[in-house]
Structure 1
Amino acid sequence: MPPVLSPRNPQQKIIKRVIALEGDLIRTRGYKNRYVKIPDGHFWIEGDHHGHSLDSNSFGPISMGLVHARASHIIWPPHRWQKITPHLPPDRAPLLSLREDPAEDQDE
């Protein structure tokens, strides 16, 4: 989950799940196009609460240049302290991946 600068407000950082990388074909959730092939130098992010999240379904593929960092742990609130493990909901996997080995991206 990378913190990225919001494409709509560069003063704001947002943390979302990476759903697809450049070259992937995905089915969107409410974006203007039902299917999107992620262009070179971009990726697709989504929040965990569909319909209540400002994410790629609102503004499209995100430039990799907007990545600020990578979230590794939840530290607040204290009762949620934990390491973030990579997880892609099964219904959000890319329909087609043109990358060499898409499985290796799950471990990053």
Structure 2
Amino acid sequence: MKIATVLKSVIVGVPIGITILDSVGYVARVDGISMQPALNPHQHTTDYVFLNRWSVKSYDIKRGDIISLISPKDPTQKIIKRVVGVQGDIVATISYKNHIIRVPEGHCWVEGDHTGHSMDSNNFGPVSLGLVTAKASCIVWPPSRWQFIPSFLPDSRVPLNLSSKSIL
């Protein structure tokens, strides 16, 4: 194979690869226990998920989605959490400075599934949708865990304005 052919393949392939990673999505390792049992359900299991960038381009984030976002506490770190509330929702917080909060426009409320073992909105408040980078669509590794990730909210975390116990 000629050097020119290899060079041409690299020159065409690299921009296409970067565009796909930047626009469509990529596979990422999930570290930690904050999303147990949905992700990393066992101490010795590490899940790898497909993070779909395309699905969050229009900021169409729904309650129950598991999303990847830039940490508001440490911009060099990406975290993965479940969306508990979207703009306008009234959320009963777990340990935030206000016990009840209305999620501001352009923001969402995110929490880890493993309550008490997660750095989430209960620590840093509502998150700007501009920090959301992708939606976790499916678990791709290990093979025994291959599955699409369902979007759901535990009954205990449904926003107050959507529950039968609405206070407003």
TM-score (norm 1): 0.85
Q: Deviations over 1:34-66 (max 9, x none)?
A: 000001110000001111101001100000000
Q: Distance in 1 between matches of 2:118 and 2:111?
A: 7
Unaligned runs of 5+ in 2: 1-65, 163-168
Runs of at least 4 residues off by over 4 Å: none
Q: 1:84 offset after TM fit, Å?
A: 0.3
Which moved further from structure 2: 14-23 or 70-79? Answer: 70-79
The reply on whether 1:39 has 2:104 as its aligned counterpart is yes
Point out the structure with the larger helix share.
2
Partner of 1:61: 126
Percent identity at matched positions? 55
Partner of 1:102: none
Letter paired with 1:33? N
Partner of 1:11: 76
Letter paired with 1:96? N
Partner of 1:84: 149
Q: Is the partner of 1:16 in helix, strand or coil?
A: strand
Q: Is the partner of 1:58 in helix, strand or coil?
A: helix
Q: 1:81 offset after TM fit, Å?
A: 1.9
Q: 1:77 offset after TM fit, Å?
A: 3.3
Which of 76, 80, 96 is matched with 2:161 structurally? 96
Choose 1 or 2 for highest CA Rg.
2
Q: Is the partner of 1:8 in helix, strand or coil?
A: coil
* Matched residues, number: 97
Unaligned runs of 5+ in 1: 98-108
